[in-house]
A and B are shown apart, each in its own frame.
Chain A
Amino acid sequence: MNTLDPTTFAPLERAAQDPVAYATEWKERTGGLVIGSFPMNFPSELVHATGALPVIVQESRTTITEGRSLLPEFYCSYTRSLADQAATGELEVFDAFVLVDHCVQLLGAADVIQRVIPDKPLHFTQFISSMDDAWSRGAVEEKVQAMRAEVEESTGVTVTDESLTASIRVFNENRRLLREFFDLRRTGRLHIPASALQVLVKSSMVMDITEHTALLQQLLDRLDTLSSAPEHLVRLHLSGHFCAPPRPELLNLLEECDVVIVNDDLYHGSRYISTDVPKDGDPFAALASWYLDRNVNVPCATRVQLDVDWQSYLVDTLADSGAEGVVTLQAKFCEPLMLYYPELRRTLGERDIPELLIETEHEGLAAESIRTTIETFVERIRRQRSKQLLPA
């Protein structure tokens, strides 16, 4: 297994584990504003272009207490955590919030945030989620401009073509470097815990992007890559888990079962870094292109697009990574994933691709039960492997 340079990795890990502490320290250091956004489609470049720190608000590991009386238990862990963070003062560092995603549970959490901390403006500009209508592009472009006005109002800074173009450039560079890690993993030349890779992506969502990029570059410079993938491990693709990252313990548990994660389409993974903002032309229109393009590159169950399919993408990417099976991670009560999952299962089943669904919750992990399930799943793949090796 490769080792990431621990000195360089440490600040990334700290930021990923405690984004609020990072934002607080950044604010004290710079005197700048911190603007919180919510997953999964807000273009952070827009906030960055004002000089404020864009932070994608993360699920807290704190046990949900106050939040229980604000949103019912049948909401996803991320939204319940947001309600709890609002009620327990964890969101104090933020000067304003921005949201472009129409998710019914997320909007419930947004309502709570508005009521519990009314002094923090929360701007919602709904990006159209039907992606392939004739008017979709125009509608998104219009909403990008509307969000621009909201961001400018919150920060008191005008976003110019120049400042936005510069921000797009630094975010594209950051995504490019992150993709290098993912590409190395897919080809087997990088073998690090999936939880470490998650740290790299999650920290990019909360840190000053220039600082983050410098650390990424340093990690890459100090990285010794392998010559080939470890053969004895079962190669898996992780799918699903929108908005919040799966617990690192779960990722570790998977890897303890003789598994190597070779690819994923997680939000705190490939999905987030898959697509760059076009660098030429009107930078505001480019943000709209990024939004539309990303759903083509890595289709998402939260968007509606008739001419792309998540399951087709999945089958294609499995061929590319050589993954032998798919583990779908579903945050409990995540409706988009609940709706789409049967299509994934059906398509993978038709192609005899092993697939396992694991449901996750905020409150914990039934580790031994999940371990048994994964071990059985791995054994199934091994048997399938053996059958394929037998002479016809």
Chain B
Amino acid sequence: MSLDTNQSTKQSLDLSPTRLVTPEAPDKSNRLSSTRMGGKMVADYWDNIFTARERGQSVVWYNGSALNPIFQAAGLAWCHGEAFSARLAAMHMEEPAQAAGAEYGYNAELCSYSRTHLGCAVLTQKGTLEKQDGIVGMADQEELAAKLPSPDFFVNAYAGCSTGQQWDAMTYRVFGKELPMMNVSLPMIFGTKPDAGYLRGKEWETTPLYVEKQLHKLIEFIEDQTKRPFDWDALSENMSYIKRASELRIEAMQLCAAAPTPATYWDWVASIAPINFLPANQMLVDYFQAVKDEIEQRIREKVSAVQNERYRVYFDGIMNWNKLGYLTRKFAEHDVAVVAGRYTHDSFWQEPDLIDVDRPLLGMAQHYLICPINHGMKIMEELLLKRCDEYGIDGIAFHSTRTCRAMTNPQQMLARTAERERGIKSFSFEGDVADAAFYKDETLESGLVAMLESIDQQRAKTAQLV
């Protein structure tokens, strides 16, 4: 089955230039066309969520890890908090929710994912009280982009970031403590012992078993909520689709080790939603097959993702959803191909070999623990250097994310490690995950230009030596 990549999308992410893009500069980025289908799949998914109550479907709100294969197997409609916040930000529709959060009392320095989503909770709760149908008042819907159906219960499974668990505890309170809630606790893989490393060591061997036990408890909790036995076969089937989609995604990513790269980090950002929370089914597999096919075709036809690729950059930090389209063009404008990143390449079912459809919960637990904000410094360094080697990285762009301390935590140390171990230059720029107010274009521009000049000098020195 192939995807119709020419099909028009609705409510897709805004990839158009913002007013900050230099108007006269030509767009030198060449994004994959196959990812457009993802936009439609995501839009359809949310439309389906918004009407879940009309179909009599129970709704779960969750944050953090990709528990959706479990929810899907249980016949639930699932709303991922960060995903909805990211979507609002990418569509430049986050402000009403953030204003509602601010009015409720949430400080602007608080994680913008959480306060956007909590703002949605406030609006949804208000709508619930006003209409008793679980949907925000119709008059507000378009403007506020706050169509989330009110939840029947909450599940939290947040790795790495302490705010993640506390955020849902607050959502629970915004809804008056009247709805059931379940926490799955995910310990950090701190990795300080001599045997510790990525996917190895005693800490790695034991911690997933603890999480797997909690996932069994989660399923009991869901059975209590839905009043029906959990469909284990459906979960295995879901995980088989996830596994295949993940294999295709990773294979496609690895093809981007080619220079010039046939696809960029921004294409992988556009593919986050499908792998992270869309229903596990054949369409998901087909999506990543189409992405991989297009990349292979580009390699055959020598089509590059950035015209005149001269620099290969790694992006560390969470995505700045307000600036997705802008950043795509901005880096390309400087002949920079952003080929990989921590957020895209070390997240989202990135180790398909861990998925065992006959014991799905263990592989899920393992993936939840290898979330890229859930490692100690030693593992972070290992992963960064591995990616730099795999993709022939010349420089690193650190997105110093104002309200996402979890992603920002190791950056200064990682910059030093990259310079010390590989001589890789880097720069930091300020921005945020879902609050455009924190983005500083000047620091990006000056930092990027300085890093590229530094790379040029490094290359010139190397050439002289040769």
Contact = CB atoms under 8 A, between A and B. Distances in A.
Contacts of B172: 306
Contacts, number: 118
Interface in B164-220: 165-170, 172-173, 177, 181, 183, 185, 187-188, 190, 192, 210, 213-214, 217
Contact of B192 (A72, A74, A123): A123
A336 B410 contact: no
Interface of B: 104-107, 109-111, 114, 160-163, 165-170, 172-173, 177, 181, 183, 185, 187-188, 190, 192, 210, 213-214, 217, 376-377, 400, 402-403, 405-406, 408-410, 412-413, 416
Contacts of B192: 114, 121-124
A375 interface: no
Contact of B161 (A104, A121, A309, A340): A104
Nearest to B166: A339
A146 to B, nearest CB: 10
| Among A102, A123, A345, residue most surrounded by chain B Cβ atoms (within 10 Å) | A102
A351 B190 CA distance: 44
Given A335-B162, A339-B166, A345-B105, A72 B214 contact: no
B170 A306 contact: no
A112 interface: yes
| Among B167, B181, B188, B190, residue most surrounded by chain A Cβ atoms (within 10 Å) | B190
Contacts of B210: 139
Interface stretch (A40-48, A126-134, A232-240): A126-134
Contact of A115 (B114, B187, B408, B413): B413
B104 A342 contact: yes
| Among A111, A133, A341, A342, residue most surrounded by chain B Cβ atoms (within 10 Å) | A342
B111 A341 contact: no
Given A69-B412, A335-B162, 9 more contacts: A72-B400, A124-B190, A126-B188, A335-B111, A336-B162, A339-B163, A340-B166, A342-B105, A342-B170
Interface of A: 69-72, 74-75, 102-105, 107-108, 111-112, 114-115, 121-124, 126, 128-130, 133-135, 139, 301-302, 304, 306, 309, 332-333, 335-336, 338-343, 345-346
A133 B400 CA distance: 35
B185 A111 contact: no
A339 B170 contact: yes
A336 B166 CA distance: 7
Given A104-B161, A304-B165, A340 B170 contact: yes
Nearest to B108: A338
B166 A302 contact: yes
| Among A121, A126, A346, residue most surrounded by chain B Cβ atoms (within 10 Å) | A126
Given A302-B162, A339-B110, A342-B104, A124 B410 contact: no
Nearest to B182: A133
A111 B413 CA distance: 8
A77 to B, nearest CB: 13
A38 to B, nearest CB: 13
A75 B405 contact: yes
A342 B214 CA distance: 31
Contacts of B160: 104
A339 B107 CA distance: 8
A111 B409 contact: yes
Contacts of B166: 301-302, 304, 335-336, 339-340
Contacts of B185: 128-130, 133, 139
Given A75-B405, A107-B188, A114-B192, A130 B109 contact: no
A335 B110 CA distance: 6
Nearest to A359: B107
Contact of B412 (A71, A104, A336, A338): A71
A335 B163 contact: yes
28 contacts: A69-B412, A71-B412, A74-B109, A74-B408, A75-B405, A102-B187, A104-B409, A107-B188, A111-B410, A111-B413, A123-B192, A124-B188, A124-B190, A124-B376, A128-B185, A129-B162, A133-B185, A139-B185, A139-B210, A301-B166, A304-B166, A304-B169, A306-B169, A306-B172, A335-B111, A339-B106, A339-B166, A343-B170
Nearest to A76: B405
A114 B377 contact: yes
B375 to A, nearest CB: 10
Contacts of B177: 306
B376 A111 contact: yes
B190 to A, nearest CB: 5
B287 to A, nearest CB: 33
Nearest to B181: A306
A74 B107 contact: no
